Amino acid sequence: MVPMGEDVDTFDVQFHDYDHSCFSYGQTHEVFVEGLRNPCFESCILSPNTQYMFRVRCVNKHGAGVWSDHYWLSTDGLGDDTAEV
């Protein structure tokens, strides 16, 4: 959601991995990226065979909007550790 109905200036992205060994949601590798000008985000720090939670929000001159719903993504085990969100 865009704050105050204005145009979007930047985007913030937050993500973390799911800790399978504890069978609980773990924020062992939480990442927060702010000030993105492009709505496309590519990360090269993801691990193979891992599930991640992503969420985004818009920012403009009035401040940050609310965070999006959580998006769950999984990487495969082929060694390509980049994913595009």
Do the Cβ atoms of 67 and 77 come closer than 8 Å? no
Pick from 5-9, 26-30, 31-35, 64-68: least confident: 26-30
What are the structural domains of the chain? 3-84 (2.60.40.10)
Q: Phi first, then psi: give them for residue 3, nearest 5 degrees.
A: -65, 135
- In this structure, of 1-5, 12-16, 27-31, 50-54, the range with the lowest mean pLDDT score is 1-5
| Spatial contact of 9 and 2, defined as CB atoms under 8 Å apart | no
pLDDT at 24 over 80: no
Q: What is the pLDDT of residues 38-74, one digit of tens each?
A: 878 787 788 888 888 899 999 998 899 999 999 998 8
Amino acid 77: pLDDT? 79
Write down the pLDDT at residue 28: 60
